[in-house]
Amino acid sequence: MAALSLRVSNEFKADIEELSQATGRSVSAIILDWLKRDLELERWQIKRIEAGIKAADDQLFVDDSKIEQALKICRG
């Protein structure tokens, strides 16, 4: 496994160490879990954005009347 170094504020360091103590997990395990979840979220967002761009390029737009109909339903 590769090592990664980063700088954080003293307050963040204290907070993450407190969380580590409270959960019994290592600081590295907590941060690695956060990074993995954020990476997956970023990947998902990029895929959705790319799909939206492709749909726009293919001119797959929703008709204005359908949008108005959906808004009426949402508004009650």
Could you report the average pLDDT of every consecutive run of 10 residues in the chain (76 residues)? 93 98 97 97 98 93 89 92
pLDDT of 63: 85
In eight-state DSSP terms, residue 63 is P
pLDDT of 1: 87
pLDDT of 32: 96
pLDDT of 76: 83
Which segments of the chain does DSSP mark as H helices, in order? Answer: 10-23, 27-57, 64-75
Q: Tell me the residue type at 71.
A: L
Question: What predicted TM-score, i.e. pTM, was given to this entire model?
Answer: 0.69
